Structure 1
Amino acid sequence: MVVTAQRFKESVQEIGGEIVASEIPGRTIKELRESMGVTQEEIGKLLGLRRETISRIENGNISPSFTSLKNFSRSIAALRAIRELFAREDASLIKKEEFNLLRPNFLRIYLNLPGQDVKLLYNLGEKGYLRSKKRILKVIK
């Protein structure tokens, strides 16, 4: 997947659609969060929610608001994009112009997210990528 603004938007829509269409949306949210290697506390910071609220959403005790669902989908899509860019860089598959996408300031503008969210996303994306680096590189090579 090449990261473009259009592809990012499509990814957000796919993630949101997957959650909404799920029989158990909270479980889907949990699976998506865990697939990125992000804790409830970390995703809570990105969404402006407490860890306990994330837990209640994931356990089906409460439903996420539309805004929370939208922000969650954007966060997961951004984490996927960041992880892919790190992988493409490591696999020497990244083009010079794509390398600039890894810079937090560019991500802030490109993904249209607040600066503090981009820094946290960048750090979480890098951390998640490093944890699953071998598996990710196998997929893209």
Structure 2
Amino acid sequence: MQQMLMTIVLLGLLGLLGLLAGCAQPQVEQPKANGSYLVIENSQAWAVLISDGKRVEERGTVVDVIKLASRHSAVAASYVIETTNCGRVQWLTERADDADGATTLMSLHNNQQLDDAGCMLGNGLARVWTVLDYSG
């Protein structure tokens, strides 16, 4: 009986020490998702900003899509959408030649309404965007 009581006390102390040791460890910071996406599906568009794991989006209608196949053009594609909060917004895919070949960078171009309080896209001016065009 005495051995069983000592075993229970030791197990309780070990459990308490394990709990205290877990509290003493520093919290590991989890990585937060970040990204900027222009999603096109036929006549519908969504501009999606993900910052520190929080997602906000601006829904719109596709006004114009122009894709240029020429390697000599500085612009590879242009996407224009009309949104309720931001007005008419344009993204340009710009070609940039590097040692590995041609690459493209998608950027949002400023208009006066991007600074309006209801428009969340103004936070994405300095970001590189990814276009996901599901129009087929």
| Structure-2-length-normalised TM-score | 0.25
User: Comparing both chains, which one has the higher relative contact order based on Cα–Cα distances under 8 Å and sequence gaps of 6 or more?
Assistant: 1
Larger proportion of strand: 2
Larger proportion of helix: 1
Greater gyration radius: 2
